[in-house]
Amino acid sequence: MAKDISKHSRNSLSVREKTYKLLRNQLLIGQFRPNQRLTEEFLARKLGVSRTPVREALHKLELEGLVKPAGARGFCVPEASIEEMKELFEIRGILEGHALAALCRSVSRENIQELSALIEKAEQALESGNLEQVFNYNTTFHDLLYSLVESEKPRLYNMIEDIREYVLRYRKSTLNRRRGAVRSIAGHKKIIMALELKDPQLSEQIMRHHVHEAEEDTVYPEIDSSKEQRNERRATPRISFDS
C-alpha cells in the first residue's frame, strides 16, 4: 500500500511540475494577451489537467510576477511596465557584459565560426523578409554564446538564462520589426569582432551597448517606428509630372 502511495505522489509531482513549466513557458512567449483573464477552469481544459495543479502553478507564477490576481479566484496577465523592462535590461547588460569579457579569453576559432554562421543565416532571412526566422537565429546566437560560459561559470549562466526568459517576451515583438532585426544583427557582428580581438574591456562595452540598443527598441518602440517612417519617406523618390 505504501508503495502505491509513493508512486501516486511521484506521478502527482510530475503533473504539477509539468503544468507549472508549460504554463510558465506559454506566458513567457506571449500566448496570452495582457490583461487576459485566466481561470482555473479555462486553463485546466486548455492543458488537459485537473484544477489542482493549475491552482498551484498560478500561485507560483504570481510570486514570479507573471500573473496577478483578478477578482474572485481568477488571475490575469499583467501589462508590461516601462520600469520593469528597464530594470531587466539593466541587469541583463551587467550580467552579459561580464560574461562576454570572461568568454573572450577562452573562445575558440571554431566557436567564432559557429556564431558567424548564425549571423549569415540571420542576414539571409532578413533579405528574404522572414523576420520570424531572424528572431530565431538571433536567439540561437545568444543560446550558443552563453552555453560556452556554462561550464566555467554555471551560476552566471543560470542568472543570464533566467533574465533572458523574461526579456524575450518583450523582445520578440521588436525583432519582428525590420529596424530591430537590423540593429540586432549589427550588434552581433561587433560581438564577433570583440571576441576575435580577445579584449575583455572592449567585449564588455560592446555587449552593454548591444543590450542598451535592445532596450531602446523594446521600451521606446514608437520612437524607432517614427524614425523608420521618416527614413522611408526620405528614401522615396519624388516623381515629377512636369514635361
pLDDT (tens digit per residue) in 75-112: 998 887 788 889 999 999 999 999 999 999 999 999 99
The answer to whether residue 227 is domain-embedded is: no
Out of 50, 76, 102, a domain closes at 76
The CATH number of the domain where 161 resides is what?
1.20.120.530
Report the percentage of the chain scoring pLDDT > 90.
Answer: 56
**Is the same domain home to 24 and 118?**
no
Contacts of 102 (CB under 8 A, 6+ apart): 149, 152, 153, 156, 200
Q: Which pLDDT belongs to residue 11? A: 54
**CB half-sphere exposure, 118, CA atoms < 13 A:** 24
Alpha-carbon gap, residue 75 to 199, rounded angstroms = 48
Shared-domain flag, residues 129 and 210: yes
Higher per-residue confidence, 219 vs 3? 219
Alpha-carbon distance of 63 to 77, in angstroms, equals 13
The total of structural domains in the chain comes to 2
Distance, CA of 143 to CA of 215 (rounded, Å): 19
Which residue among 76, 91, 125 closes a domain?
Answer: 76
Domain identity same for 108 and 156:
yes
Residue 3 inside a domain? The answer is no
CB 112 within 8 A of CB 237: no
Are the beta carbons of 35 and 79 closer than 8 angstroms? yes
Asked if 67 and 102 sit in the same domain, the reply is no
Q: Would you say residue 23 lies in a domain? A: yes
Please indicate, yes or no, if residue 1 is contained in any of the structural domains. Answer: no
Is 241 within the bounds of a domain?
no
Q: Give yes or no: residues 110 and 34 share one domain.
A: no
98 and 198 co-located in one domain: yes
Q: In CATH, what number is assigned to the domain containing residue 40?
A: 1.10.10.10
> Domain range for residue 36?
10-76
Judge if 125 and 209 occupy the same domain. yes
Could you tell me which of 146, 122, 150, 116 has the C-alpha nearest to residue 136?
122
> Are 72 and 110 members of one domain?
no
Where are the extended beta strands (E) located within the chain? 37-39, 68-69, 74-76
Instruction: Clarify whether residues 126 and 23 are in a common domain.
Output: no
Q: Indicate the Cα dihedral angle 78, 79, 82, 88, nearest 10°.
A: 50
Instruction: Compute the distance between CA of residue 223 and CA of residue 230 in angstroms, rounded to an integer.
Output: 11
Q: Judge whether 193 lies within some domain.
A: yes
122 shares its domain with 191: yes
Question: How far from 78 is each of 22, 30, 205, 217, CA to CA, in Å?
Answer: 18, 11, 33, 21
- Burial class of 71 by CB neighbour count within 10 A (0 to 12, 13 to 18, 19+): exposed
Identify the three-state secondary structure at position 170. Answer: helix
User: Considering the entire predicted model, what is its pTM?
Assistant: 0.71
Average pLDDT, the chain: 83
Q: Hey, which residues does 69 pair with through a beta bridge? A: 75
Q: Is residue 55 domain-shared with residue 95, that is, in the same domain? A: no
Residues 69 and 114 occupy one common structural domain: no
Alpha-carbon torsion 181, 214, 121, 169, what sign? negative
Q: Cα(55)–Cα(78) distance, rounded to whole angstroms?
A: 18
Q: pLDDT for 119-178, tens place per residue?
A: 999 999 999 999 889 989 998 999 999 999 998 899 999 999 988 887 877 766 565 678
In a domain, 111, yes or no: yes
Query: For position 82, what pLDDT does the model report?
Result: 85
pLDDT of residue 10: 47
Instruction: Give the distance from CA 215 to its chain's centroid.
Output: 12
Residue where a domain terminates, one of 76, 97, 113: 76
Cell 560556452, located at residue: 148
235, part of any domain: no
